[in-house]
Amino acid sequence: MTADMLIFFIFVLSIFLGFELISKVPSMLHTPLMSGTNAIHGIILLGGMLALAEADGFIQHVAGFAAVVLGSANVFGGFMVTDRMLQMFKRKK
C-alpha cells in the first residue's frame, strides 16, 4: 500500500470517528462544542506558517502573513472563548 493510500485510510476512518464522537453530545453542549471544534480547525495555523516560510515575492508574503494572522486568531481565540463559556457551567452547590 502506498503512503498516499495510507493517508486516505486515515482520512476515511477519521470521518467515522467524528460521527461517533459527536452522536452522544447533549444539546445543552452544542454551542461550546461548535466553538470547541471551531478552535480545533485552527490547526490551519501550521499551514499558514509553512506558506509564509515558502512565500516568494510580495503578494505571496502578504497572503502567507494574512494566513498566519487568521489562523492564529482562529486557534487562540477559539480555545479561549470556549473556555470562557465552559467555566460558567456549574452544578448546584
Residues 3-32 binding other proteins (CB under 8 A) are 4, 7, 10-11, 14-19, 21-32
- Shortest Cβ distance from residue 2 to other proteins (Å)? 10
Binding mask 58-77 for other proteins (x = CB under 8 A): --xx-xxxxxxxxxxxxxxx
- Shortest Cβ distance from residue 22 to other proteins (Å)? 4
* CA separation for the pair 88, 33 (Å, rounded): 15
- Shortest Cβ distance from residue 38 to other proteins (Å)? 5
| Number of residues counted as binding other proteins (CB under 8 A) | 79
* CA separation for the pair 27, 88 (Å, rounded): 17
